[in-house]
Structure 1
């Protein structure tokens, strides 16, 4: 089943909706990623970006190519998404490349882009998130890198994540003071056809409205693409919760102000599906039947998640007594299917946050 084309505001490019696998910690299995090539079209979603922070060849070791067996797996994964009629791409995070971008680094980047082109994806993201940003000419340096990639890959839809991708003050706390006029300078310097990621007024925004987006769209000089950090649960606090409600707190009509909307999912692939139903309903890409989750996750599991979902989302692991947690883990472990296995593993603490994941 092919994904339906959706027009973006102000042009004939498709409006991108889907998954950006951009979280820290335990990544998904390729088996589950391939399942998404089947699941996303059923929701009317059309895009998948592969950029798990745990893949070293996309971030700290970006100059190196994947070992041959893993590269064959990625080629197969890309072919799977293409075969489903989905937009597919990779998010490359060339760590702090803007600090030194000479002839050697430029050649390394060109070689990496050429290798990524072998995947035959129609999307490519350059991600400068979660890196030091206290460089006075940060916008100019990043725009130079993006312009080179645009020249090397002219037929690919290019997306870019700024270092300061939210109004959240936590970014300056961790990555240094944002250079003056960074957003407007970046907007003026980037090619007009480059999409810019934005997470909202907070890194993990509880609410996003058209009023939130308007001043940033003016600063960047284009509609933004949401990198929506719901239902992601990769942090020290969020990893203790399962976010099972459909995408909440997003104002209807956001699509008229956006070029695309991606959700960054949980470390649990199958349990992220209810949230993605909310993404589909927000943008009216499809109207899944009322029993959609029961069909995809398993009827017995969905019955129990309707019973326990509020507990898992609001109270989390710390709000469940140890004996009760063990009993629930055993109950879910007895149920069939990968989603039930994810619940059981989470209850057993197998998705616990590891600070080492931040030193990728």
Structure 2
């Protein structure tokens, strides 16, 4: 497949809990470009100025950091995006709310993002005519935004029943209204058959395309590990075989990484290989080659040896002896950022805090 035939491939920093440092975010420009990714979207759940306090501009220091980050990605020729989540704005449809939203988009325009996402995930959804209320906001945002690509995230971004359990029953004709009324130039995020889908089938993606009236833009919740259960594991394996077969069925593909920025590079780097190699893609071989390239042969061998313990058994089920042995093993690689994150994780530095969800 020629690079020009690839859908947009990138990452969205869109997880709960402990977020990345500014230095880690900047370093990702040097990781994404050589691995054939073409976008990065800034949307950490702990940025209150994108979520609960979305009406307010960032403090000057944060906005300076974002401006610098945007310039780093521009120099690397990687598209830079922002994800805005105006929390349950549709519960208050006053003129003031509309004005606040337009003002906020103009503030975001000052950063000259290439991509702007309007995200209605993780919000109450059992509201009549929800789709058209959200579309109205989406179209107003699109009119004002200077971004070249606009992506909409619906409240119901999967058929996974857990969404109705948490956010209420999906309104009648929700997806059909999105198909009929949202501008066809606007992409729509979709996570697959589940919120955290293990794989993607062509048949499923074709059915979603018919439902939404456009190819879905995948928000892939792998290797993210920000939940109570998944914070106990490090998702290091390469993406599975199904990712190599869906090039023609998506408009884009964004991976949501782990809270551990450096370790995330291992699974993330496998996505573009899956798209490029198609039927020749071999996940286990890819994992070995990526860890060799990123971590060096010795550490790569150690990670391969411990992969089942780190990703399958996980921290909560480890014995004291297993944890002690792992700490000893990875302490043998001093000042190594990959090992530093493993050690921090083993010592409870990434323990899930339910407060992060609010």
Structure 2-normalised TM-score? 0.93
**Greater helix proportion:** 2
Match of 2:244 among 246, 252, 259: 252
Name the CA shift for 1:177/1:345 in 2 (closer, same or farther; >3 Å).
same
Matched, 1:348 2:347: yes
8 Å Cα contact 1:273-1:293 kept in structure 2: no
> What is the aligned partner in structure 1 of residue 260 from structure 2?
268
| Equivalenced residues, count | 350
Matched, 1:115 2:114: no
> What is the aligned partner in structure 2 of residue 328 from structure 1?
326
For residue 245 of structure 1, give the secondary structure of its aligned residue in structure 2.
coil
Structure 2 spans left out of the alignment, 5+ residues: none
> What is the aligned partner in structure 2 of residue 126 from structure 1?
118
> What is the aligned partner in structure 2 of residue 20 from structure 1?
12
> What is the aligned partner in structure 2 of residue 68 from structure 1?
60
Report how far residue 153 of structure 1 moved.
Answer: 1.7
Tell me how far apart the structure 1 counterparts of residues 50 and 148 of structure 2 sit (CA, whole Å). Answer: 18
Report how far residue 319 of structure 1 moved.
Answer: 2.7
> What is the aligned partner in structure 1 of residue 299 from structure 2?
301
Deviations 1:186-244 (A, max 9, x none): 12111110000000000011121111111111111001100000000000101101111
For residue 103 of structure 2, give the secondary structure of its aligned residue in structure 1.
helix
Matched, 1:81 2:73: yes
> What is the aligned partner in structure 2 of residue 12 from structure 1?
none
For residue 244 of structure 2, give the secondary structure of its aligned residue in structure 1.
coil
Match of 1:145 among 137, 150, 157: 137
Report how far residue 54 of structure 1 moved.
Answer: 0.8
Structure 1-normalised TM-score? 0.93
Report how far residue 302 of structure 1 moved.
Answer: 2.1
Tell me how far apart the structure 2 counterparts of residues 342 and 271 of structure 1 sit (CA, whole Å). Answer: 7
Report how far residue 296 of structure 1 moved.
Answer: 2.5
Pairwise mapping of residues 1-360 of structure 1 onto structure 2 (< 5 A)?
6-7=4-5, 15-153=7-145, 155-284=147-276, 291-335=289-333, 336-359=335-358
Structure 1 spans left out of the alignment, 5+ residues: 9-14
Report how far residue 155 of structure 1 moved.
Answer: 4.8
CA RMSD of aligned residues (A): 1.9
